[in-house]
Amino acid sequence: MNNSDIQATECWIRIINFCKQMEKHYSHIQISASGSTPPEYPLDSISALHLMMIVKEAVNNGARHATANLISVSSAVNNNQWQLVISDNGKGFDWKGQQPSKDSNGITNMTERAKAIGAEFELKSQQDKGTSIQLTIPIS
- DSSP assignment of 85-138 equals EEEE-S-----SSPPPPTT--HHHHHHHHHHHTT-EEEEEE-TTS-EEEEEEEE
**What's the CA gap between 84 and 52, in Å, rounded?**
11
If one counts every other C-beta atom within 10 angstroms of the C-beta of residue 55, the result is 23
Per-residue pLDDT reduced to its tens digit, 4-56: 789 999 999 999 999 999 999 999 999 999 999 999 999 999 999 999 999 99
CA distances, 54 to each of 73, 78, 137 (Å): 11, 21, 12
- Using pLDDT thresholds of 50, 70 and 90, give the confidence band for residue 140: confident
Backbone Cα Rg of the chain: 14
What architecture does CATH give domain 6-138? 2-Layer Sandwich (3.30)
* d(C-alpha 63, C-alpha 91), whole Å: 11
- Residue range 126-133: mean pLDDT, rounded: 94
**What residue spans define the domains of the chain?**
6-138
CB 118 within 8 A of CB 138: yes
pTM: 0.90
pLDDT (tens digit per residue) in 80-116: 999 999 999 999 988 665 555 555 688 999 999 999 9
